[in-house]
Amino acid sequence: MKRPIAIIVLLAISVCASAMEAPSGNSAFTNAFSGVMFRNIEEAFNVYIGSWTGSQSVSINGEEIMAAAVEQRYIPTEASALPKLVGSGQILVQGQSIDTRCYMYLDGDKLVLDIHTLNDKITRYIGILDGNTVVWRPLYMFLAYYIQNDSFFRADKGIVMSSVGLRYIDAPARNFKGMVETKTILQKPDASYSKDKANIFQGGSIFNTKGGALGN
């Protein structure tokens, strides 16, 4: 059963950091693509730069309620004390376009992500590196059911970002409560990806790649 667009807007705005806690194990996607191994958090920060396109699906309590086309861009800016990316994009669903906005910062050995909601509130996440995955956690632990991951892979014509997640939403004003699963696949062509920013290797795992980066 399809949900009203108001509920879809509430759920889909996470595209700026659209991956969430992923289940363990291999998949056909894992076996089809090679992982991107980052040597440090700066390389992970740089791989976001560019234009991404793809699709996103949202399920509530195991029932798919939305399939959308997604466009996302990350542009570096010098108007910040820390290295900063300005993220903007659109979710195209049910004939409507939903704008997204976020800011990502490189702060020492971690990333900081500020997601701006439609009512102009900011939700902050801290990202740490785990192989080919940026593991996002909410700054405030009472959002423990809102966990995010981004995993990166090498495709024939560029880089793929695979995002899978799970979060709990309780919105009494909209008469909604439930567990929400989000799956997003975005691709960036080679033209918008600098290959010297990250080391590519064969055999990466989509969910939990361990070990150090290989040298050039």
Supply 111's token pair: 């990333």
Give one DSSP letter per residue of 119-148, joined into a string: TS-EEEEEEEEETTEEEEEESSGGGTTEEE
pLDDT band of residue 82 (cuts 50, 70, 90) is: very high
pLDDT of residue 141: 60
- Show me where the domains of the chain are located: 5-190
> CA-CA distance, 210 to 142, in Å (whole number)?
28
H or E, element range at 47: helix 41-47
Residue 193 vs residues 165, 190, 214: alpha-carbon distances, Å: 25, 5, 19
Q: Considering just the CA atoms, what is the radius of gyration of the chain in Å?
A: 17
pLDDT, tens only, 200-210: 333 332 223 33
pLDDT band of residue 49 (cuts 50, 70, 90) is: very high
Q: Mean pLDDT over all residues of the chain?
A: 75
> CA-CA distance, 97 to 70, in Å (whole number)?
10
Q: What is the CATH code of the structural domain delimited by 5-190?
A: 2.40.128.20
pLDDT of residue 36: 85
pLDDT of residue 112: 96
pTM (two decimals): 0.75
pLDDT, tens only, 151-199: 999 988 889 999 877 787 777 877 777 888 888 999 998 755 444 444 4
Task: State the CB neighbour count (10 A cutoff) for residue 118.
Answer: 12
Give the distance between the most distant pair of CA atoms in the chain: 54
Task: Tell how far CA 108 is from the center of its chain.
Answer: 20
Supply 60's token pair: 């509530």
More confident residue, 215 or 159: 159
pLDDT band of residue 110 (cuts 50, 70, 90) is: very high
Supply 7's token pair: 């509920």
